[in-house]
């Protein structure tokens, strides 16, 4: 196996064309550089340089090795930089805001996984209405945020996004649970539980859904998704959410999620917003990378 020092010495000799100049550049003895080059040639069983009066010139074998050395040292520098980032991220604070459907399951689990590798990091996690998340990231009030994909300020960008249509959440033994999709007229026959507040940005692309929501007379209305989740589990009615706030209950089979049979509402997406022109702190940068991976795994399910 080639030693890292030998690769650095070899690369420098090829750059300056002389063992003496390479030694001066590396601030080591010329004999040390020469010894490393001779060791490389001995290991590979072939000359790497033609020794000429005007300096050192690569042989064909030397050119092949140089390509390998360039790639190897580039990868090494990249890995070392990533390790330095990890060291810097060992402590610090991360602030994040999200629509509250992500706060009851997805984000707590993501933080729990992250804290295994970064136990000293602290967090602020805020629930926010969809339009407010982008404003908070843009203003620098938080590091990052989750919201529905739509028009956003130029000072923020979506790092990643996944499909997140609003559908019907109900008990697994509900009569509509055996449907592949649910019509608005079918849903209106049952008690409705609704979350107070405006529709998510982007829901207005589906006029039929907006009209449907406007004519509902809910049995129960609350701004707490936890309250509505328990009410659904108690069979008090059905509600309309993305599946992201009910991942555990869907996985265990206690609740089911079915899409609405309306094209517009099924185009909704949720994304991770980060500053467009401001670097994240090291722990926030590491966490954002983990969240991207978590979202991609979720989208694949």
Smallest Cα–Cα separation from 257: which of 278, 241, 280?
Answer: 241
Q: Note the pLDDT tens digit of each residue in 286-298.
A: 899 999 999 988 8
89-163+269-300 is a CATH 3.40.190.10 domain: yes
- Cβ-contact 101, 108 below 8 angstroms: no
CATH of domain 4-87: 1.10.10.10
Helix (H, G, I), strand (E, B) or coil at 218: coil
Please give the angle made by the CA atoms of 73, 77 and 79, to the nearest 5 degrees: 115
- Give the long-range contacts of residues 130-139, CB within 8 A, separation 24 or more: 130/99, 130/198, 130/200, 130/201, 131/198, 131/201, 132/97, 133/97, 133/98, 133/99, 133/273, 134/273, 136/97, 137/97, 137/273, 137/274, 137/275, 138/275
Residue 289's pLDDT is 92
The per-residue pLDDT for 86 is: 59
The pLDDT of residue 150: 84
- All residue ranges of the chain with pLDDT < 50 are 1, 202
pLDDT at 208: 85
186 and 179 in contact (C-beta within 8 Å)?
yes
pLDDT reported for residue 1? 42
What is the model's pLDDT at position 152? Answer: 87
Does 4-87 match 89-163+269-300 in CATH topology? no
Beta bridge partners of 91: 120
- Amino acid 187: pLDDT: 93
68-110 pLDDT, tens digit each: 888 887 777 777 666 666 565 567 889 999 988 899 889 999 9
Angle at which helices 4-16 and 30-44 pack, to 10 degrees? 110
Pairing of strands 167-171, 239-241: antiparallel
Does residue 155 contact residue 276 with C-beta atoms inside 8 Å? Answer: yes
Record: fold of 167-267 = D-Maltodextrin-Binding Protein; domain 2 (3.40.190)
Give pLDDT, residue 288: 94
Domain boundaries of the chain, sorted by first residue: 4-87, 89-163+269-300, 167-267
């Amino acid at each position: 196996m080639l030693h890292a020092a030998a690769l650095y010495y070899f690369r420098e000799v090829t750059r300056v064309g002389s063992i003496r100049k390479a030694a001066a550049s590396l601030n080591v003895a010329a004999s040390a550089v020469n010894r490393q080059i001779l060791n490389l040639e001995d290991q590979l069983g072939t000359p790497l340089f033609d020794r000429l009066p005007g300096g050192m010139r690569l042989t064909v074998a030397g050119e092949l090795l140089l390509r390998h050395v360039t790639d190897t040292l580039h990868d090494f520098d990249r890995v070392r930089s990533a390790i330095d980032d990890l060291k810097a991220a060992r402590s610090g604070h991360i602030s994040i805001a999200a629509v509250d459907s992500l706060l009851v399951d997805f984000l707590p689990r993501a933080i729990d996984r992250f804290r295994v590798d970064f136990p000293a990091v602290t967090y602020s996690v805020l629930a926010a209405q969809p339009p407010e998340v982008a404003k908070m990231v843009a203003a620098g009030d938080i590091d990052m945020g989750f919201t529905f994909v739509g028009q956003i300020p130029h000072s923020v960008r979506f790092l990643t996004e996944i499909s997140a249509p609003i559908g019907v959440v109900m008990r697994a033994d509900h009569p509509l649970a055996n449907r592949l999709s649910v019509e608005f007229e079918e849903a209106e026959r049952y008690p409705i539980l609704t979350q107070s507040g405006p529709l998510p940005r982007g829901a207005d692309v589906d006029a039929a859904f907006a009209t449907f929501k406007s004519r509902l007379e809910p049995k129960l209305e609350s701004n707490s998704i936890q309250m509505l989740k328990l009410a659904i589990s108690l069979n008090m009615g059905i509600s309309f959410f993305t599946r992201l706030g009910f991942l555990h209950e869907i996985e265990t089979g206690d609740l089911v999620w079915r899409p609405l049979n309306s094209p517009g509402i099924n185009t909704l997406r949720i994304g991770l917003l980060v500053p467009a022109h401001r670097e994240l702190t090291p722990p926030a940068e590491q966490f954002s990378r983990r969240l991207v991976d978590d979202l991609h795994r979720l989208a694949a399910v």
